[in-house]
Each structure stands twice: as C-alpha cells, then as structure tokens.
C-alpha cells in the first residue's frame, strides 16, 4: 500500500522513519487475551479503582503513594515544585539514600535472600548467588575504597564501563551510598564513545573490568579504558584513576598494560578495605543518582540526569505493580545494565523491593537458543523481561526450545521496540506456555520507568499494542498543528504526556536549553508559565490510540534509529563516516530487519574523482565501530554517485529509506537530480 492510500499512516517531516510507521500501521487490530486467573489471584494490583485515585484532578498528590514505598531519613515537604518549569522537583525537602533502600533496609527480613544471581556466560562456570547480606558487605567495602582510596564524595561523577557482572550493580550501589553520581556506559560501546562520556561528565575516575565473555570469547575490555582516557585527554579532560575489576579475582585477564600511578586493580586494593562500613549519605531527594547517555537528534549523545527520590520511587512503584515483583520472586530482565532498562529494572526497582534479580553475562542464544530457558529452570525464574529483538532471535534459532524445559513464568515483559503480533503470540504460547501475563511496556531513557503498559491483573492484553497509560500517566496525541487526536480517530500523531511524573529526568547534563527545546518547546502553551498544564512532554515517538484507549507506538519521529532496541542517532553514525577523508556526504536510514527490528544503512558520496572501492568501505565501517561501537556497524555501506537532493540541496533521506526497504520512493520528479534514484536502486539491489 502506498503512503497516500493508507489513512492511518503517520506522515512526518523527517521521513527517515516512514518504514517503521508503515510496518506497525499495517498490523491488524488483534483480539484480546485475558490475564490468567492464577496470576490475578496473587497480583499486587487488582483494584481497578486505582485509575480514579490517579485521575488528573488529583495530580500531583497521588504520587505520595510512590514516595511512600521508600525509606526516608527526612520526609518530604512538597510532592511537586513547579516554580522552575519545566525543571520539575519531586519530593522536595526529603532526604534518603538509594543504596540504603536497595540493600540495608532488607537486612532485617531478607538478609539471606539472594539479591543477585550472577550467571557467567560459560555454562561450566558456577552461578554466584549473592545474598542481601553479602551485597551489603561488598557494597560497603567498595564504597570505602571509592571514598578513602579515590577521594570521591557526594556530587562527583564517575564513569563506569562495565560488562554484565555482579560487580556492576555493586559499583552502582557503592556510588549511590556515597551520593556519587554514576554514569554507566554500555560495555559494547567503543573506548572513544566511553571517552566522550567521561569528558562530558567530567569524571576523574573510570571504573572498568579487564575482560568479559561474549558469544564464547573472553574479550579484552581494559584496552577500551586506555582509549577512553586518551580520547578524553583530547577534550582537555584528565582521568586520574582507572579502577579495574578482575573477571577472575586474583588474575589479570587483559593483555593491556597497567599504567603506573593511574591504574588500580580493584580486587587487590579491596583487601585494604575488608570489613569496612560506610554510613549511607543522607541525600536530598532532588540530588542526581546517575547520568545515562542516550542518542538524540544532534551528533553528541546527551546525559540524561535522573534524581534519587523521584526516580527511585518511580521504578519501585512500577516494579511492584507493573512487573508484579514480590520479595520472594526470582526476576530476570535480560537487558543490559548499560541501558536504562537495566538500571531501572535489573538494579534499582527489583532490589528496592528485596527480590532476587538475575544478572546474565552473555548473549541469549549462547551456546544455543535453549540457554535462557535452562537458566530460568535452574534458578526458578518466575518473572521474565526482554526485548522483541531477543524474542525474535530465540524464536528463529530455537522455536521449540522452551518446550524442553520446565520453567514457569507468571509474568513476562517486552520492551524497547514494537513487537509483531506473531512474535508476541510465540512469546505467549511457547515461552510463557499460556501461563504468563505479558506486559508490553513503552518508555524511554528520559522517562525513568514505564509510561504505557497494561496493568497485568486488570487489563486484557492486545498483541502489538503497548496498552493504555499506567496509573498516573496521562498521555495525549497531538497532530503537527497541536490539535488533540482523540482515541479511535485512526490517525497517528506525536505522543506527549500531559503531566510530569517522578521518574522523568531532571535535565540534560550541562545542557538545560536543549532539555527545554527538545522535550517541551513544541507544544508548550506558554513558555513563562509555572503551571505544569502548559508543559506537555514530547516523547519523540509517533503513535495511534485505538478506540479502546490502547496505544500503538509507531517509532521515532526524530533522527533516532532503534537498532535491536538500542537507540542510535543517525547523526552520530553520519558524523563518524564523515571522519573518513574520502567521504563528503553521509546519510543513514533505518532498514526493517526480521530479527533486529531496524538496522542502519549508510549511504555515502565521495570526493570528486574518487571511485567506490572496498578499501574505502572498510575504512568507513572501521570509523563507525571506533567512534560508537560494533553495535552501530552499518548493515550496508552504499557508495553513491550523488545523493538524491531537493532543489535547495537537502539530502532526501526518505528516498534512500524507501530504496533500502524496497518500497516505492513515490514521486521524485521534484528532486534536483531525479535520475540518480534509479542508479542508487541498482547499487542496492
Ligand atoms: C522505543 C528504552 C514500541 C520508542 C526503554 C522509544 C518502544 C525508544 C517500546 C526509547 C515499546 C520503547 N513499543 N516502541 N514497548 N519501548 N520503544 O531510550 O521508540 O533506549 O522512544 O528506552 O524505544 O528507547 P530507549
């Protein structure tokens, strides 16, 4: 179906996303699935009147219920302060500590519960079961090391570039204990990408690990720290100390040399801090807990700053009522802690509730697609959380694998991308054995926690739809003119949230103007207003709302590509390509992929007189991997004689996206160089 014929197609200006919208829009309306009665009988939230208690006229007082899930040293005076809109301040006057809430407060009742099950990728290595008691000891010792051996104090920033190991949550919680702001960079990102984030956050200390397992190989990771320090130095930023955890305590597993005076082996130094205890810092609710860098519309990733009180309250509440986590549950979120999902729903949410959280080191399909189900069976996992990309891969590689294992999930989550109804049904029938409720949760790095999802014991499930908003969240879909699109209109628009919520990020680190501009300016009713009603939050996704109130998310309206559920900026990839001297123009478009959802195709044109050559393609690919990481490696690099351009010289990404996705590019006669379209199409074939 062409764009024009589809009444529900979302038409945006930056049409790089058109294929995403098309794919989602063409899904049929699906039948409902009812939550299993066994699930409802034990669920934390079954009272549908919650939506009345959380209606907009009771905002913001209903968020008291969120804050009350935490322990406070000092109770807050004001739930929400809007005096510096849109820089919302939650639980003002309150004091708490995130580490105390995730560790210390569980010691009286759950001291011997497992807090973290660490599952190494090599299957012959022993799973570590770290109790809350042991977590308490290890976090305290490491906090003492950070404070006394590194001189870190509340408000300092520290960059972590750590793989999926138990030491990562230990490191985060030790920072939180001191009030130190952590900034964890996804371990798959390159040393250069890490260095950019080190200098932007002005971290004097970088914490890493020597090596980790990925797809059966022990990867050297320490070398990335050396690159990060060198790259940060180019920005004029000096790193004083690199702390290196050992993947195998007592043994250094990297060929990279240690730099004298800078590099410290954590496992050695920890011996000096054995048995030490550090009192949790009494932190203002409004202090920052962490930064999480994410891709946006411009080249440089932005550091989303999340608060201690609001963020922790939000992830704790949503973990309890949307994930349905009870302290006796064994919960496994297969995301990486290097992304927001891992921060909120591997570390902070589940641990704040005293549950057991699984940390798995490796890839889900290693050594085979039965691995996740073996882990689930062995550990008694009863809540499972992953992304459509992982589900698609597990389904492709082992469609019957789940039937071979005796795992039983009561609850399953999908997050990060739209999930195709067919894939949803495999998840439900085969992985979940029709026993589990499924929530499709829509949210973003900026949001702290879920925005849209069914409430698992209250709502029916509808494959492919994220569901209505969760209690307390009041979305609205605006068209480009700012008109509200009602439920059931069949039209797509820009999804916004009318009200602030405690999990919303506080600002972009060192860039408050961009914060206002990117998220609030578009539909702001009055820039001088201190009334939250005038400041709808622009999520940056296209969406349609069905007559039943369920939202279907169609994908980004800006220059962001969701590759396998990981956010990458097209501009970041293009900037990397432009570092290759032969390249004069670069354009990245998303291509639909059966497993990863989206992958980036990179179109480049070369300096006059240069011919396409494999050598140049290799250089471009290497540049992208160096600048960002292997995750951004283009699916195809297409060297074109010229970019399709408007008469004013703008690259028509829409045309390139159509070619890459084998769709009709539509009318190209108004281009400055329409003849190039066929030439490019031949190259892509
Ligand atoms: C997309 C991940 C459809 C969306 C938590 C959003 C989704 C971006 C869903 C944020 C979902 C996330 N259905 N699309 N359930 N969840 N997205 O910041 O485009 O890594 O804007 O946060 O992922 O990605 P981020």
pLDDT confidence band for 5 (50 / 70 / 90): very low
Distance 416 CA to ligand 1 centre (A): 4
What tens digit of pLDDT does each residue of 236-251 get?
A: 999 999 999 999 999 9
What tens digit of pLDDT does each residue of 437-447 get?
A: 999 999 999 99
pLDDT, residue 299, reads 66
Element (H, E) at 41: helix 37-42
**pTM, entire model:** 0.93
| H-type alpha helices, 46-163 | 50-53, 64-67, 98-102, 107-110, 132-144
- Strand ranges of the sheet holding 493-497, from the earlier edge strand across to the other edge: 475-478, 493-497, 537-545, 551-556
List C-alpha distances in Å: 109 to 61, 170, 275, 354, 617: 30, 20, 22, 9, 59
Atom nearest to 339 CA in ligand 1: 20
Distance 553 CA to ligand 1 centre (A): 9
pLDDT confidence band for 404 (50 / 70 / 90): very high
Residue 606 near residue 616 (C-beta atoms within 8 A): yes
Judged against a pLDDT cut of 60, whether residue 81 lies above it is answered with yes
What tens digit of pLDDT does each residue of 179-210 get?
A: 999 999 999 999 999 999 999 999 999 999 99
Atom 5 of ligand 1, residue of closest alpha carbon = 444
Mutate to test the pocket of ligand 1, among 12, 337, 444 (most ligand atoms within 8 A of CB): 444
pLDDT confidence band for 215 (50 / 70 / 90): very high
Q: Phi, psi (5° rounding) for residue 639?
A: -90, 115
Indicate the SS3 state at residue 226: helix
What phi-psi label fits residue 43: left (phi over 0), alpha (psi between -120 and 50 degrees) or beta? beta
Distance 556 CA to ligand 1 centre (A): 9
Q: What percent of the chain has pLDDT over 70?
A: 96
Handedness of CA 60, 65, 67, 72 (dihedral sign): positive
pLDDT, residue 27, reads 64
What tens digit of pLDDT does each residue of 471-484 get?
A: 999 999 999 999 99
The number of CA neighbours under 13 Å toward the Cβ of 97 is 21
Judged against a pLDDT cut of 50, whether residue 6 lies above it is answered with no
pLDDT confidence band for 26 (50 / 70 / 90): low
Atom nearest to 414 CA in ligand 1: 15
Atom nearest to 567 CA in ligand 1: 20
What tens digit of pLDDT does each residue of 116-165 get?
A: 999 999 999 999 999 999 999 999 999 999 999 999 999 999 999 999 99
> CA 126, CA 42: separation in Å to the nearest integer?
32
Q: Which residue has the tokens 């770290």?
A: 130
pLDDT, residue 430, reads 98
Residue 295 near residue 568 (C-beta atoms within 8 A): yes
Handedness of CA 89, 90, 91, 95 (dihedral sign): negative
Indicate the SS3 state at residue 161: strand
Partners of residue 212 on adjacent β-strands? 219
Window from 362-366, 558-562, 641-645 with minimum mean pLDDT: 558-562
Atom 12 of ligand 1, residue of closest alpha carbon = 416
Handedness of CA 457, 458, 464, 466 (dihedral sign): negative
> Rounded mean pLDDT of 30-45?
97
pLDDT confidence band for 25 (50 / 70 / 90): low
Judged against a pLDDT cut of 90, whether residue 2 lies above it is answered with no
Pocket of ligand 1 (CB under 6 A): 294, 339-341, 415-418, 440-445, 466, 540-541, 553, 555-556, 562, 567
CB atoms within 10 A of CB 606: 19
> Rounded mean pLDDT of 318-326?
98
pLDDT confidence band for 556 (50 / 70 / 90): confident
- For 595, the token pair is 């497993």
Judged against a pLDDT cut of 70, whether residue 540 lies above it is answered with yes
**C-beta contacts of 520-525 below 8 A and 24+ residues apart:** 520/86, 522/494, 523/478, 523/482, 523/494, 523/496, 524/86
Mutate to test the pocket of ligand 1, among 19, 318, 416, 508 (most ligand atoms within 8 A of CB): 416
Distance 9 CA to ligand 1 centre (A): 19
Judged against a pLDDT cut of 80, whether residue 396 lies above it is answered with yes
Q: What percent of the chain has pLDDT over 90?
A: 88
pLDDT, residue 17, reads 39
């Amino acid at each position: 179906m062409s764009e024009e014929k589809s009444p529900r197609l979302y038409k945006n200006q930056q049409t790089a996303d058109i294929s995403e919208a098309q794919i989602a829009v063409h899904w049929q309306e699906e039948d409902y699935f009812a939550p299993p009665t066994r699930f409802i009988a034990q669920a934390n939230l079954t009272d549908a009147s919650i939506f009345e208690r959380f209606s907009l006229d009771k905002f913001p007082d209903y968020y008291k219920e969120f804050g009350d899930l935490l322990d406070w040293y000092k109770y807050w005076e004001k739930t929400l302060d809007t005096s510096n809109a849109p820089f919302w301040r939650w639980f003002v006057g309150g004091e708490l500590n995130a580490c105390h809430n995730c560790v210390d407060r569980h010691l009286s009742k759950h001291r011997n519960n497992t807090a973290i099950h660490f599952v190494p990728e090599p299957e012959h290595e022993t799973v570590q079961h770290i109790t809350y008691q042991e977590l308490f000891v290890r976090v305290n010792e490491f906090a003492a090391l950070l404070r006394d051996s590194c001189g870190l104090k509340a408000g300092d920033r520290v960059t972590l570039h750590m793989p999926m190991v138990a030491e990562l949550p230990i490191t985060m919680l030790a920072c939180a204990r001191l009030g130190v702001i952590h900034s964890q960079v996804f371990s798959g990102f390159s040393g250069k990408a890490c260095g950019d984030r080190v200098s932007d956050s002005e971290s004097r200390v970088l914490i890493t690990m020597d090596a980790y397992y990925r797809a059966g190989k022990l990867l050297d990771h320490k070398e990335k720290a050396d690159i990060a320090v060198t790259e940060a130095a180019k920005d004029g930023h000096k790193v004083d100390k690199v702390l290196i955890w050992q993947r195998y305590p007592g043994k250094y597993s990297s060929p990279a040399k240690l730099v004298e005076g800078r590099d410290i082996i954590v496992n050695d130094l920890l011996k000096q801090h054995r048995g030490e205890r550090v009192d949790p810092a009494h932190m203002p609710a409004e202090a920052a807990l962490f930064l999480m860098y994410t891709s946006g519309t411009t080249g440089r990733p932005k550091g989303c700053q999340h608060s201690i009180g609001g963020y922790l309250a939000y992830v704790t509440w949503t973990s309890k009522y949307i994930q349905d986590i009870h302290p006796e549950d064994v919960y496994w979120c297969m995301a990486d802690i290097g992304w927001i999902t891992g921060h909120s729903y591997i570390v902070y949410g589940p641990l704040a509730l005293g549950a057991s959280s699984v940390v798995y080191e490796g890839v889900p399909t290693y050594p085979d697609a039965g691995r996740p189900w073996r882990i689930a069976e062995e550990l008694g996992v009863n809540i499972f959380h992953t992304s459509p990309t992982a589900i698609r891969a597990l389904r492709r590689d082992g469609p019957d694998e789940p039937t071979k294992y005796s795992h039983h999930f009561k609850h399953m989550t999908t997050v990060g991308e739209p999930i195709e109804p067919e894939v949803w049904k495999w998840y439900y029938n085969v992985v979940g054995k029709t026993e589990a409720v499924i929530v499709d949760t829509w949210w973003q790095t900026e949001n702290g926690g879920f925005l849209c999802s069914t409430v698992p014991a209250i709502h029916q499930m509808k494959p492919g739809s994220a569901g209505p908003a969760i209690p307390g969240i009041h979305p609205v879909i605006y068209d480009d003119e700012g008109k509200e699109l009602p439920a059931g209109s069949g039209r797509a628009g820009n999804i916004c949230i009318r009200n602030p919520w405690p999990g919303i990020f506080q600002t972009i680190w060192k860039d408050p103007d961009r914060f206002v501009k990117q998220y609030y300016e578009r539909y702001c009713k009055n820039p001088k207003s201190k009334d939250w009603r005038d400041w709808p939050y622009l999520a940056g996704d296209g969406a349609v709302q069905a007559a039943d109130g369920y939202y279907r998310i169609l994908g980004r309206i800006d220059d962001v590509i969701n590759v396998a559920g990981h956010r990458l900026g097209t501009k970041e990839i293009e900037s990397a390509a432009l570092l290759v001297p032969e390249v004069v123009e670069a354009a990245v478009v998303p291509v639909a992929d059966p497993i990863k959802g989206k992958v980036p195709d990179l179109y480049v044109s070369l300096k006059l007189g240069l011919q396409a050559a494999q050598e140049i393609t290799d250089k471009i690919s290497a540049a992208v991997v160096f600048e960002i990481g292997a995750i951004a490696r283009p699916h195809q690099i297409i060297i074109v004689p010229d970019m399709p351009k408007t008469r004013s010289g703008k690259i028509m990404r829409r045309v390139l996206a159509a070619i890459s996705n084998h769709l009709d590019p539509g009318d190209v006669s108004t281009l400055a160089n329409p003849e190039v379209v066929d030439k490019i199409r031949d190259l892509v074939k």
